[in-house]
Amino acid sequence: MEAQLELGKKIFFLYPTPVLSEVAEALTKNEFEVYFVNDHKKLRRLLASYENSILYINIDKILEGMHWESYVQEILCDSNCRDVGVGVMTLNDINPDSREKYVMKMQVPCGYVD
């Protein structure tokens, strides 16, 4: 897997907000590979192929029948994704308990960005 590290660390943004284009540009200038993904099901399969990648999930995206807590927990518990760093992001942090839920209870390794 060292060859993967030589190419740059992969960062996936699931359901990214438009403001992330500036962040992506800065990350690519620092030799990160940045991917915007708009399909959480396909992303799950993809993550298993990219150890040591980072995933930030935009929990502001509302999907019918989707509960982000369950999705995050599934990734954290998936042995195929054990080396994927997971973080959560939101621009609408209206629930003050949300940060505690993801950081303290679920222990997402890449934090909570609001």
* 29 backbone dihedrals φ, ψ, rounded to 5°: -65, -20
pLDDT band, residue 3 (cuts 50/70/90):
very low
Is this model's pTM higher than 0.85 or not?
yes
| Residue 94 scores a pLDDT above 90 | no
Average pLDDT, the chain: 89
2-113 folds as Rossmann fold (3.40.50)
CA–CA distances in Å: residue 76 to residues 6, 18, 25, 85, 86: 25, 26, 28, 9, 8
pLDDT band, residue 54 (cuts 50/70/90):
very high
Domain ranges of the chain: 2-113
CA–CA distances in Å: residue 30 to residues 22, 58, 69: 13, 22, 31
Per-residue pLDDT, 6: 52
| Residue 80 scores a pLDDT above 50 | yes
DSSP-derived pairing of the beta strands 33-37 and 54-58: unpaired
**Residue 113, class by beta-carbon neighbours within 10 Å (0-12 exposed, 13-18 middle, 19+ buried)?**
middle
- CA pair distance 90, 74, nearest whole angstrom: 20
